[in-house]
């Protein structure tokens, strides 16, 4: 493949980088696992109600960066960051910040659908329940499933085990589950990599719907997907330093149209034209 | 279509006869299995035929007697065993599961002291049961002054099965995929909510199976009770945790050391009862495992 067959969402993107309304501001972020610096010196901004895609070859640290936004990396012993991630005006890693509270506002969908081994209803109700919401659970569940474009398929079998659903349905259930907590941001870590093309299309269409209400960050291996769904794209790659150690870094961050048509960095161009990665 | 025109002689799929070693290996595997099964069968057949004349209600309706074998039974042993196992379950299971949760969900494996704890739990599981008997006698019966009571026995047996409960509970907890924990935490659940609402329910079948197997091992123990000096000729059932008691294995041991033949038959019958309790518990474990086993 020399020239990727990409469809661009071109003129629909209203924002220029100057007019970006930031939900997150990442300032000189480096992520460490113990002494190992997995990603270094990332600067980027995530715009409100935009879809930001993070692309790059394997091992470039894009998932690592994604997991900083809801402090999932905290769960790994020895993981820590340098630099800053501002969520609105608030330092996400400030001393007084409770990661539990962060994860309520910033939901996450994982690479492999991971519904709980419970009923469809209980899967969606789980988030609200652990957060102490008890009222109108039926409405909350229906609303979340509706927004995730799953209600019509499951409304007659809400008590059925979620593991009986197909992979694509399971992933939309995981999205519904995240929505039920009423987050502002949804992080998606390669949400379609375990799905077939039809299920992938459904998730991509769903993302366009969700974009009206939520800020979405998606890590993807699939460049066409980034080109199809996202407003902005961050291209990551891995550098090997003089000691032979790999560090992920952000090469270029721009509007998706520009990344895929006029990239300003040679490495981005090589990657999107399929010359490496 | 080159494949179709390939001459027959170029593709040779005719078997060359499996090497004799393949067959020998199979036979070796099967005979190893047979050794275990044949001896189990022999044991069962022998005790059943030996104990058959006394395998009736006299066995579980009467207390032991040294003078009248025909009206002698092992009622106090059955009752004592059930008391000990019940109390052990109450003490060892919660403790073991909580310890396992700590080791799997909270302990940082990169810290040396946590690795030391882990290593020593494996060591504890290998300590001979008689050593636990000495511990029970010295510390629980004498130093804590619990005497030779159901409580002393149950605490001793709890300590004996605790490492096994911890190890099997850890296995069950570890079998819950990390993606379930991540999914829960990502929704803003606390660590305890994640454990209580996701990890524990998903691992309970495994924990139950392992615990029952650990308890059935404890049922057959005679050595620690021997060490504790529990009496064998107990003509009453325990009426509480501070009552004195005996257990089935100890009664069997005692019956066999009697000189009269009738008591040996009685011992065989008591062994059948003990095996029946064991098989019952093991089948409960297997049923639990099959019924609630999760596929991820």
Question: A258 — contact with chain B (CB < 8 Å)?
Answer: no
- Contacts of residue A53, defined as CB under 8 A and 6 or more positions apart, other chains included, come to A218, A219, A220, A225, A226, A229, A230, A232, A233, A234, A256
- For residue B283, the distance in angstroms to the closest alpha carbon of chain A comes to 25
Widest CA span in chain A? 60
Name the helix (H) or strand (E) containing B134: helix B129-135
CB A124 within 8 A of CB A176: yes
Q: What is the mean pLDDT of residues B24-52?
A: 91
Q: Is residue A170 in a domain?
A: no
Question: B128 — contact with chain A (CB < 8 Å)?
Answer: no
Give contacts of B110 with chain A, Cβ < 8 Å: 77-78
Query: What does the DSSP assignment read for A69-137?
Result: TTTGGGGSTTEEEEEEEEETTEETT-TT--HHHHHHHEEEE-SS----SSBHHHHHHHHHHHTT--TTH
Q: What percent of chain B has pLDDT over 90?
A: 33
Nearest to B202 among A104, A117, A127 (CB): A117
- For residue B183, the distance in angstroms to the closest alpha carbon of chain A comes to 7
Query: What does the DSSP assignment read for B65-91?
Result: -SS-GGG---HHHHHHHHHHHHHHHHH
Better pLDDT: A47 or B13: A47
Give contacts of A177 with chain B, Cβ < 8 Å: 183, 187
Question: A63 — contact with chain B (CB < 8 Å)?
Answer: no
pLDDT score, position B9:
64
Better pLDDT: B7 or B232: B232
- Checking if the pLDDT of A183 tops 80, the result is yes
DSSP-based three-state secondary structure for A56: coil
Contact B182 A77 (CB under 8 A): no
Is the Cα torsion angle A258, A262, A263, A269 positive or negative in sign?
positive
CB B123 within 8 A of CB B85: no
CA atoms within 13 A on the CB side of B206: 21
For chain A, what is the mean pLDDT? 88
Q: Is residue A175 in a domain?
A: no
Give contacts of B294 with chain A, Cβ < 8 Å: 117
Q: What percent of chain A has pLDDT over 90?
A: 65
Contact A103 B180 (CB under 8 A): no
Question: B178 — contact with chain A (CB < 8 Å)?
Answer: no
pLDDT score, position A166:
92
CB B208 within 8 A of CB B288: yes
CA nearest neighbour of A133 among A124, A69, A160? A124
Residues 129-188 of A with CB under 8 A from B: 130-131, 163, 174, 177-178, 181
Q: What is the mean pLDDT of residues B129-151?
A: 88
Contact A75 B182 (CB under 8 A): yes
Per-residue pLDDT band for A98 (boundaries 50, 70, 90) equals very high
pLDDT score, position B4:
58
pLDDT score, position A113:
93
Per-residue pLDDT band for A14 (boundaries 50, 70, 90) equals very low
Give contacts of B177 with chain A, Cβ < 8 Å: 114
- For residue B89, the distance in angstroms to the closest alpha carbon of chain A comes to 28
Better pLDDT: B242 or A4: B242
A185-222 confidence digits (pLDDT tens): 999 999 998 888 988 998 999 999 899 999 999 999 88
Per-residue pLDDT band for A2 (boundaries 50, 70, 90) equals very low
Is the Cα torsion angle A137, A143, A144, A150 positive or negative in sign?
positive
CB B164 within 8 A of CB B127: no
CA–CA distance, B130 with B118 (Å, rounded to integer): 23
Domain span at residue A204 reads: 22-114+185-273
pLDDT score, position A4:
44
Contact B190 A130 (CB under 8 A): yes
Q: Is residue A33 in a domain?
A: yes
Cα distance from N-terminal residue to C-terminal residue, chain B: 44
CB B248 within 8 A of CB B74: yes
CB B251 within 8 A of CB B77: yes
Nearest CA in chain A to B183: A114
CB pairs A-B closer than 8 Å: 68
Beta strands in A167-231 (DSSP E): 185-189, 215-219
B52-93 confidence digits (pLDDT tens): 888 787 777 777 777 777 777 788 888 889 999 999 999 999
Per-residue pLDDT band for A181 (boundaries 50, 70, 90) equals very high
pLDDT score, position A222:
87
State residue A108 phi and psi, 5-degree precision.
Answer: -145, 140
- Checking if the pLDDT of A46 tops 70, the result is yes
- For residue B296, the distance in angstroms to the closest alpha carbon of chain A comes to 8
- For residue B104, the distance in angstroms to the closest alpha carbon of chain A comes to 13
Beta strands in B188-273 (DSSP E): none
Work out the angle at residue A117's Cα, subtended by the Cα atoms of residues B164 and A221, and round it to the nearest 5 degrees. 110
Give contacts of B108 with chain A, Cβ < 8 Å: 77
CB A199 within 8 A of CB A146: no
Per-residue pLDDT band for A276 (boundaries 50, 70, 90) equals low
Interface test with A, best of B105, B114, B186 (most A CBs within 10 A): B186
Contact A116 B180 (CB under 8 A): yes
- Count structural domains, chain A: 1
Contact B188 A127 (CB under 8 A): yes
- Contacts of residue A267, defined as CB under 8 A and 6 or more positions apart, other chains included, come to A235, A237, A251, A252
Nearest to A104 among B183, B188, B202 (CB): B188
Which structure tokens are listed for B278? Answer: 């064991």
pLDDT score, position B294:
62
pLDDT score, position B169:
94
CATH number of the domain residue A217 falls in = 3.40.50.300
Per-residue pLDDT band for A11 (boundaries 50, 70, 90) equals very low
Give the CA distances from residue B233 to residues B27, B245, B261, in Å, rounded to whole numbers and listed in that order.
49, 9, 18
B204-213 confidence digits (pLDDT tens): 888 988 898 8
Give contacts of A72 with chain B, Cβ < 8 Å: 182, 185-186
Per mean pLDDT, which range of A216-220, B126-130, B233-237 is the poorest?
Answer: B233-237
Contact B177 A127 (CB under 8 A): no
Give the CA distances from residue B90 to residues B14, B77, B215, in Å, rounded to whole numbers and listed in that order.
64, 20, 11
- Checking if the pLDDT of B229 tops 80, the result is no
Q: Is residue A53 in a domain?
A: yes
State residue B105 phi and psi, 5-degree precision.
Answer: -105, -25
Per-residue pLDDT band for A15 (boundaries 50, 70, 90) equals very low
Name the helix (H) or strand (E) containing A38: strand A36-47
ipTM surpassing 0.95? no
Contact B186 A130 (CB under 8 A): no
Nearest to B187 among A75, A78, A126 (CB): A126
According to DSSP, the β-strands at A185-189 and A106-109 are parallel
State residue B263 phi and psi, 5-degree precision.
Answer: -70, -30
Torsion of CA A180, A184, A188, A191, to 10 degrees: 40
CA nearest neighbour of A3 among A276, A274, A277? A274
Contact A114 B177 (CB under 8 A): yes
- Checking if the pLDDT of A49 tops 50, the result is yes
Nearest to B186 among A103, A112, A115 (CB): A103
CA–CA distance, A140 with B265 (Å, rounded to integer): 69
For chain B, what is the mean pLDDT? 86
Nearest to A70 among B110, B184, B186 (CB): B186
Give contacts of B114 with chain A, Cβ < 8 Å: none
Per-residue pLDDT band for A7 (boundaries 50, 70, 90) equals very low
Q: Is residue A4 in a domain?
A: no
Give contacts of A77 with chain B, Cβ < 8 Å: 108-110
Nearest CA in chain A to B179: A114
Per-residue pLDDT band for B6 (boundaries 50, 70, 90) equals low
């Amino acid at each position: 493949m020399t020239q990727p067959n990409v469809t661009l969402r071109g003129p629909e993107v209203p924002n220029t980088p100057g007019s970006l309304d930031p939900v997150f501001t990442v300032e000189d972020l480096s992520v460490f696992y113990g002494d190992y610096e997995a990603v270094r010196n990332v600067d980027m901004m995530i715009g409100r109600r935009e879809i930001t895609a993070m692309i790059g070859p394997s091992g470039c640290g894009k998932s690592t960066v994604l997991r900083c936004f809801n402090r999932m990396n905290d769960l790994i012993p020895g993981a820590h960051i340098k630099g800053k991630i501002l969520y609105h005006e608030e330092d996400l890693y400030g001393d007084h910040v409770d990661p539990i509270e962060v994860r309520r506002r910033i939901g996450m969908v994982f690479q492999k659908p991971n519904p709980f081994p419970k009923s469809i209803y209980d899967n969606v109700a789980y988030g609200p329940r652990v957060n102490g919401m008890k009222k109108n659970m039926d409405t909350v569940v229906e609303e979340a499933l509706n927004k995730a474009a799953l209600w019509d398929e499951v409304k007659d079998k809400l008590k059925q085990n979620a593991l009986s659903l197909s992979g694509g349905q399971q992933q939309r259930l995981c999205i519904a589950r995240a929505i039920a907590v009423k987050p502002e941001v949804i992080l998606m870590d390669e949400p379609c990599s375990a799905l077939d093309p039809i299920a992938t299309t459904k998730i991509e269409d769903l993302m366009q719907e969700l974009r009206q209400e939520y800020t979405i960050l998606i890590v993807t291996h699939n460049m066409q997907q980034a080109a199809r769904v996202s407003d902005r794209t961050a291209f990551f790659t891995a550098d090997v330093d003089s000691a032979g150690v790999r560090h992920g870094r952000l090469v270029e961050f721009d509007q998706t149209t520009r990344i895929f048509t006029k990239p300003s960095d040679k490495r981005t161009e090589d990657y999107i034209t399929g010359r490496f990665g | 279509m080159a494949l179709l025109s390939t001459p027959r002689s170029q593709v040779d799929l005719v078997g060359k006869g499996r090497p004799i070693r393949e067959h020998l290996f199979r036979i070796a595997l099967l005979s190893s299995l047979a050794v275990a099964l044949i001896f189990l069968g022999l044991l069962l057949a022998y005790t059943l035929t030996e104990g058959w004349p006394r395998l009736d209600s006299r066995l579980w309706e009467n207390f032991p007697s040294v003078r009248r074998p025909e009206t002698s039974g092992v009622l106090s042993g059955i009752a004592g065993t059930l008391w000990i196992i019940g109390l052990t379950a109450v003490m060892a299971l919660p403790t073991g599961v909580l310890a396992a949760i700590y080791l799997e969900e909270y302990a940082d494996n990169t810290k040396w002291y946590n690795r030391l704890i882990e290593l020593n739990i494996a060591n504890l599981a290998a300590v001979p049961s008689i050593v636990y008997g000495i511990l029970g006698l010295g510390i629980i019966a004498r130093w804590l002054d619990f005497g030779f009571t159901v409580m002393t026995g149950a605490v001793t047996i709890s300590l004996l099965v605790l490492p096994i409960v911890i190890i099997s509970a850890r296995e069950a907890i570890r079998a819950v995929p990390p993606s379930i924990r991540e999914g829960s935490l990502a929704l803003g659940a606390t660590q305890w909510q994640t454990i209580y609402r996701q990890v524990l329910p998903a691992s309970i079948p495994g924990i139950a199976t392992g615990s029952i197997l650990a308890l059935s091992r404890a049922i057959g123990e005679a050595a620690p009770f021997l060490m504790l000096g529990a009496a064998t000729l107990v003509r009453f059932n325990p009426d509480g945790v501070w009552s004195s008691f005996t257990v089935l294995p100890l009664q069997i041991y005692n019956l066999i050391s009697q000189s009269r033949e009738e008591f040996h038959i009685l011992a065989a019958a008591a062994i059948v009862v003990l095996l029946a309790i064991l098989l019952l518990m093991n089948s409960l474990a297997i049923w639990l495992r099959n019924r609630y086993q999760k596929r991820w």
